[in-house]
């Protein structure tokens, strides 16, 4: 039970800061849409998606309410939209770095409960970073990747961003209910695992 509470608290914190980062960076870059919707705040009730919140309590997983962004306000729509998308995962990475400091350098002085809570926040922050950096709509990585797409192909990529979410959902179902269940293999878990291991290796070896 106590482990579930750690996970629940960590998810609420990580998701709230993730969505806040999207909203705040969009506002800084000239888009007032998220601010008008009250999303430039650290109030978790504003950022938690109803279905995602229910699943946090039922399954220990969840997601935040997407931040509304209107790229028409941006002076450089492609670049600024990519920066707004990147803000969420980078906030998760920042949280991981912040909680790693006491774990790495003062771990022997922390009580067990605090150490477990910080470790849970660290793990979930890295996991959410890894998941969101995958280049599949509607994940943040798909919007960041558009920086690498040549201008002449941008309209094709915008079509991909607008229409590929259903294909990604189909892939998730296929990956989770067919590959993982019947073959014991998950492509998504493998991709996320590579990113998680890479990020943790860099963070633990650095400093």
- pLDDT tens by residue, 42-60: 999 999 887 667 666 655 5
Mean pLDDT of 136-145: 90
* Strand-pair partners of 16: none
Whose structure tokens read 């400093």?
Answer: 207
**CA 71 distance to own-chain centroid:** 20
How confident is the model over 49-89, as pLDDT tens digits?
876 676 666 555 567 889 999 999 999 999 999 999 999 99
The answer to whether 66 touches 88, Cβ cutoff 8 Å, is: no
pLDDT reported for residue 58: 59
How confident is the model over 176-200, as pLDDT tens digits?
778 877 888 888 888 888 999 999 9
Whose structure tokens read 């995962």?
Answer: 89
pTM of the complete model beyond 0.85: yes
Strands (E), 43-171: none
pLDDT reported for residue 15: 92
| Residue 81 bears catalytic tag | no
Mean pLDDT of 148-163: 89
Domain ranges for the chain: 2-205
């Amino acid at each position: 039970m106590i482990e579930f509470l750690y996970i629940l608290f960590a998810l609420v914190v990580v998701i709230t800061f993730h969505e806040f980062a999207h909203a705040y960076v969009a506002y800084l870059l000239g888009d007032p849409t998220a601010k008008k919707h009250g999303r430039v705040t650290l109030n978790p009730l504003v950022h938690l998606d109803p279905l995602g919140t229910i699943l946090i309590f039922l399954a220990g997983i969840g997601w935040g309410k997407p931040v509304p962004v209107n790229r028409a306000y941006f002076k450089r729509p492609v670049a600024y939209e990519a920066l707004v998308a990147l803000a969420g995962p980078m906030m998760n990475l920042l949280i991981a770095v912040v909680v790693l400091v006491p774990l790495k350098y003062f771990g022997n002085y922390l009580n067990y409960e605090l150490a477990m809570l910080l470790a849970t926040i660290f793990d979930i922050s890295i996991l959410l970073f890894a998941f969101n950096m995958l280049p599949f709509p509607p994940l943040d990585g798909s919007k960041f990747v558009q920086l690498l797409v040549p201008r002449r192909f941008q309209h094709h990529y915008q079509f991909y961003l607008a229409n590929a979410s259903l294909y990604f959902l189909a892939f998730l179902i296929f990956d989770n209910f067919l590959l993982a269940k019947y073959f014991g293999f998950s492509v998504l878990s493998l991709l996320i695992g590579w990113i998680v291991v890479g990020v943790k290796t860099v963070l633990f070896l650095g400093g």
